[in-house]
């Protein structure tokens, strides 16, 4: 059970222990606080008592578990967990935001580290004619951590500015937030970007950063799971199908809420290269369309 939870939440063995402790202590605090309040209210134990008690527990539990998590260093995990839970229950709506450039045209930044095949398709989608509704977005910036990467040439060919980033500023500085804001970036798309996104950038662009993973999450995700290594692992696992997962980016590798999954078969004679070709076809066909749909909702 613990291994499945580790895989689901993308946490290590020690962190899963702290998380379970937080759940247990938070639950105990919730029950204790709810009973104390019920005693003060002097309500007879009947159907009304049960209803009020359930309501109190529902209200107190998120507060209790997040508060307890502060003492165990798990605030980031539990604040995100509670927020996702409340969204699924319909208690909290996904927060929209106003497009920074007065709603005329949303600006997208593509973060990429390699050849840029996905970036190319995204740029073509927003620059050219396609069957989707008239686009209200454009690729305004390509961000890259490798000076010699092929995606830089693609950006130059399409007259798109390039921002080369370095680790020190990205992870220990301002996360290049000022540079992104100076370009009025509204939405961030990861397209083969190999660095983990720092918390400061995730908070600045909450639910405005998405990624595409070349496998079906939550399996075959996590640190180091990219490129042909993912496909080799899927084949070694004797999976009958693979595919793509488009998801929001949060504080953990390949962990954010899933937006779309599209599947394809894994054939008996597949190699990493042959499976990769089918995965790339799914990426190129679906990623630009999902990006446009999400960008169209900005500020709504």
| CATH code assigned at 246 | 3.40.50.170
Pick the last residue of a domain from 54, 88, 122: 88
Q: Is the pLDDT of residue 110 over 90?
A: yes
Residues 154 and 233 grouped into a single domain: yes
- Per residue in 219-260, pLDDT (tens digit) is 888 888 888 999 999 999 999 999 999 999 998 888 889 999
Q: Are residues 264 and 235 in the same domain?
A: yes
Whole-number pLDDT of residue 178: 92
Is 130 labeled as catalytic in the residue annotation? no
Q: Looking at residues 107-112, what average pLDDT do you find?
A: 97
Catalytic member of 125, 172, 213, 284 = 213
Domain interval for residue 264? 106-296
pLDDT over threshold 50, residue 96: no
Same domain, 81 and 188: no
Q: Where are the alpha helices (DSSP H) in the chain?
A: 2-9, 13-41, 47-71, 75-88, 117-127, 150-157, 167-172, 177-182, 199-204, 228-236, 272-296
Domain count of the chain? 2
Q: Count of residues for the chain?
A: 300
The verdict on residue 98 lying in a domain is no
Q: Same domain for 239 and 154?
A: yes
């Amino acid at each position: 059970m613990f291994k499945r939870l580790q895989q689901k939440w993308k946490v290590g063995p020690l962190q899963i222990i702290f998380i379970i402790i937080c759940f247990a202590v938070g639950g105990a605090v919730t029950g204790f606080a709810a009973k104390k309040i019920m005693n003060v209210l002097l309500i007879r134990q009947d159907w009304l008592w049960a209803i009020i008690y359930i309501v109190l527990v529902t209200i107190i539990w998120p507060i209790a578990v997040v508060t307890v998590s502060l003492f165990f260093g798990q605030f980031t995990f539990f604040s995100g967990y509670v927020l996702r839970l409340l969204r699924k229950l319909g208690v909290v709506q996904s927060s929209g935001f106003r497009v920074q450039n007065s709603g005329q045209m949303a600006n997208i930044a593509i973060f990429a580290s390699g050849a840029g095949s996905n970036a190319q398709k995204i740029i073509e989608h927003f620059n050219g004619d396609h069957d989707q509704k008239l686009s209200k977005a454009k690729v305004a910036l390509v961000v890259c951590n490798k000076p010699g990467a092929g995606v830089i040439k693609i950006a130059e060919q399409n007259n798109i500015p390039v921002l080369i980033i370095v680790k020190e500023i990205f992870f220990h500085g301002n996360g290049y937030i000022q540079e992104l804001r100076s370009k009025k970036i509204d939405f961030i798309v990861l397209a083969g970007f190999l660095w983990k996104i720092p918390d400061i950038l995730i908070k600045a662009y909450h639910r405005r950063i998405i990624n595409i993973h070349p496998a079906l999450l939550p399996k075959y995700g996590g640190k180091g799971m990219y490129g042909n290594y993912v496909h080799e692992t899927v084949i070694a696992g004797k999976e009958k199908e693979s595919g793509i997962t488009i998801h929001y980016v949060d504080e953990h590798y390949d962990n954010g809420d899933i937006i779309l999954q599209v599947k394809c078969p894994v054939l008996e004679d597949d190699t990493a290269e042959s499976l990769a070709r089918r995965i790339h076809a799914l990426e190129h066909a679906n990623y630009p369309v999902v990006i446009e749909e999400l960008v169209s909702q900005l500020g709504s």
